[in-house]
């Protein structure tokens, strides 16, 4: 299953607020779909699936990528759910988004893919690159690159920059000071249900 490229607003109506996916807000109050008006009790499986889908769509991952990240998280000592969130939050595309250098994760992914982002003075065009404490993130010294990011900085996707990141606006320079803490993850979800979903497959 590849990455989702369809209507983003429909997904946020179904799953709730996904800050990384879109900034748009729907005027419709009911969930998306023909039977959105009907209220029904969700099964345990449906609840686990919904939490998993929130992760997938918010961070813009394919099913295969998410499964791979879950396997990686299980190998690390500690709470698998929290470690999974930390792996996803420390991705380069998400870090660029959390710094306010792009309004959404798809927009930050485009910045990374097009070579606008430098990590430790090297161009990194791999969105899944895992940012590490001590990494310095800058913008390519091209007028088009800096103008684009400055425009994005005027209206960031999220109000607050997490405490593990540091941003200097003139010139644009960001530093990763540590690993993100669970409290600073912007997405509202129960990560334990995601781990349960994959452990039962």
Q: How far is 18 from 170, CA to CA, in rounded Å?
A: 30
How far is residue 85 CA from its own chain's centroid?
9
Which pLDDT tens digit goes with each residue over 36-69? Answer: 555 556 788 888 888 898 888 889 899 999 999 9
Residue 95 class from Cβ within 10 Å (0-12 exposed, 13-18 middle, 19+ buried)? buried
- Domain 8-81+187-199 class, CATH top level: mainly alpha
Please indicate whether residue 38 or residue 184 has the higher confidence score (pLDDT). 184
* Helices vs. strands in the chain: H and E counts, helices first: 8, 5
CATH no. of 91-178: 3.10.290.10
Which pLDDT tens digit goes with each residue over 147-180? Answer: 888 888 887 666 688 999 999 988 889 999 999 9
Residue pair 155/113 in contact (Cβ under 8 Å)? The answer is no
Q: Which pTM does this prediction carry? A: 0.83
Domain ranges for the chain, please list them. 8-81+187-199, 91-178
Closest CA to 192 of 20, 29, 52, 23: 52
DSSP output for 62-128: -HHHHHHHHHHHHHSSS-HHHHHHHHHHTBHHHHHHHTTSSSSHHHHHHHHHTT-EEETTEE---TT
Confidence of residue 1 (pLDDT cuts 50, 70, 90): very low
Residue pair 99/167 in contact (Cβ under 8 Å)? The answer is yes
Confidence of residue 187 (pLDDT cuts 50, 70, 90): confident
């Amino acid at each position: 299953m590849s990455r989702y490229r369809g209507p983003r607003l429909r997904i946020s109506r179904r799953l709730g607020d996904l800050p990384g996916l879109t900034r748009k807000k729907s005027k419709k109050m009911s969930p998306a779909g023909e039977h959105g008006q009907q209220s029904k009790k969700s099964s345990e499986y449906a609840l686990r699936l919904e939490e998993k889908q929130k992760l997938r769509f918010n961070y813009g991952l394919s099913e295969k990528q998410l499964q791979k990240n879950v396997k990686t998280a299980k190998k690390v000592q500690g709470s698998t759910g929290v470690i999974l969130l930390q792996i996803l939050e420390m991705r380069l595309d998400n870090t660029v988004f959390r710094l306010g250098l792009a309004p959404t994760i798809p927009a930050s992914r485009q910045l990374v893919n097009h070579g606008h982002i430098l990590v430790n003075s090297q161009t990194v065009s791999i969105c899944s690159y895992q940012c590490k404490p001590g990494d310095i993130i800058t913008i390519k010294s091209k007028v088009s690159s800096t103008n684009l990011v400055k425009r994005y900085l005027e209206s960031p996707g999220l109000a607050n920059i997490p405490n593990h990141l540091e941003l200097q606006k003139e010139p644009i320079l960001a530093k990763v000071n540590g690993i993100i803490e669970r409290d600073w993850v912007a997405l509202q979800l129960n990560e334990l249900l995601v781990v349960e979903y994959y452990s039962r497959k």
